């Protein structure tokens, strides 16, 4: 049985793990993300961005995993994730740097991925423990085809990536919904060789044959090389544009009836596997 289709039992020991899910200021995927971690047995709670910033570094005491969810933070004014990234970097950078250095995990989904990139948490090449957050080294621009694209995509997983959320899954394809208007990943050219060498692209958009692609509609935004997400060199910070929290139940898939009739309906939505991998890496 593929690791992606294992039943979603509560993970032994997950109740010792504390997960924070951000909400507020236009973020809108917090409930689905909270449900994913709760289904797996973690101690998960939502925290408003304003409360997190007000508490400072104390807000992350005893936390194992911090999640930046999807949505439209601050209405995507200026650019998607930019205002939230500036606010977090200006008031919370030291706490985030220490959190990652101490072994904490950070997950960013869609708007959360945009925020992590613009904050410097991804890809963070060259940053060493104890140093401030890395400067911004990449960005996400408007899709090649203008407008908001809402459709399911295939992702090819890189089995050699250090990303703890995808590590150990083997060469596999994962289908997830993607819905964004600014998802084209652009990395500083001087860092491109390092990103490829160190396998810091855990997931890429794939065509019907499972090959990474830049072609629309399999690649909804035109990212070079089919880049759909990035991780940092430690593998503990991961961001992706598609939404794993939107595929927690088999019935979330648009072809679930056909899958059921063919005897291929999974026991749970396959997006849950990414959350499970992250939690298991902490135990």
Backbone CA torsion sign across 41, 22, 276, 163: negative
How does pLDDT run across 160-194, given as a tens digit for each residue?
A: 999 999 987 655 899 999 999 999 999 999 999 99
- The set of catalytic residues is 110, 243, 245
Mean pLDDT on 223-232 = 98
Mean pLDDT on 16-23 = 98
Mean pLDDT on 13-42 = 97
Residue 16: predicted pLDDT: 98
How does pLDDT run across 2-18, given as a tens digit for each residue?
A: 444 454 678 999 999 99
Residue 57: predicted pLDDT: 84
- Domain covering 13-281: architecture: 3-Layer(aba) Sandwich (3.40)
Residue 227: predicted pLDDT: 98
Answer whether residue 77 shows pLDDT above 90. Answer: no
Q: In this structure, are residues 122 and 134 in contact, taking their beta carbons and an 8 Å threshold?
A: no
Query: Whole-number mean pLDDT of the chain?
Result: 94
pLDDT band per the 50, 70, 90 thresholds, residue 1 = very low
**Two tokens, residue 5:** 């289709």
Return the residue matching tokens 């794993």: 244
Name the phi and psi angles at 124, rounded to 5.
55, 40
pTM for the model stands at 0.95
**C-alpha separations of 55 from 49, 60, 114, 121, 275 in Å:** 10, 9, 24, 20, 26
């Amino acid at each position: 049985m593929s690791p992606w289709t294992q039943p979603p039992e509560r993970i032994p020991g997950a109740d010792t793990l504390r997960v924070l899910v951000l909400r507020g200021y236009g973020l809108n995927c917090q409930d689905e993300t909270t449900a994913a971690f709760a289904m797996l047995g973690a101690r998960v709670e939502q925290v408003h961005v304003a409360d997190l910033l007000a508490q400072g570094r104390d807000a992350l005491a005893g936390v194992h995993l911090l999640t930046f969810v999807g949505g439209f933070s601050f209405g995507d004014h200026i650019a998607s994730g930019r205002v939230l990234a500036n606010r977090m970097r200006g008031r919370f950078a030291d706490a985030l740097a220490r959190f990652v250095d101490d072994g904490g995990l950070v997950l960013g989904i869609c708007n959360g991925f945009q925020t992590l990139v613009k904050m410097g948490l991804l890809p963070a090449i060259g940053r060493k423990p104890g140093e401030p957050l890395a400067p911004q080294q990449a960005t996400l621009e408007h899709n090649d085809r203008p407008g908001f694209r809402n459709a399911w995509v295939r992702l090819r997983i890189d089995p050699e990536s250090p990303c703890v959320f995808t590590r150990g899954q083997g060469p596999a394809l994962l289908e997830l919904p993607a819905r964004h208007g600014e998802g084209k990943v652009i990395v500083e050219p001087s860092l491109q060789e390092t990103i490829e060498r160190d396998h810091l692209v855990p997931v890429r958009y794939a065509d019907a044959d499972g090959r990474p692609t830049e072609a629309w509609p399999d690649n909804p935004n035109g990212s070079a090389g089919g880049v759909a997400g990035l991780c940092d060199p430690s593998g503990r910070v991961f961001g992706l544009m598609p939404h794993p929290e939107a595929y927690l139940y088999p019935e979330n898939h648009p072809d679930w009836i056909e899958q059921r009739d063919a005897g291929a309906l999974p026991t749970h939505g396959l997006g849950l596997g990414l959350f499970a991998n992250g939690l298991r890496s902490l135990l």
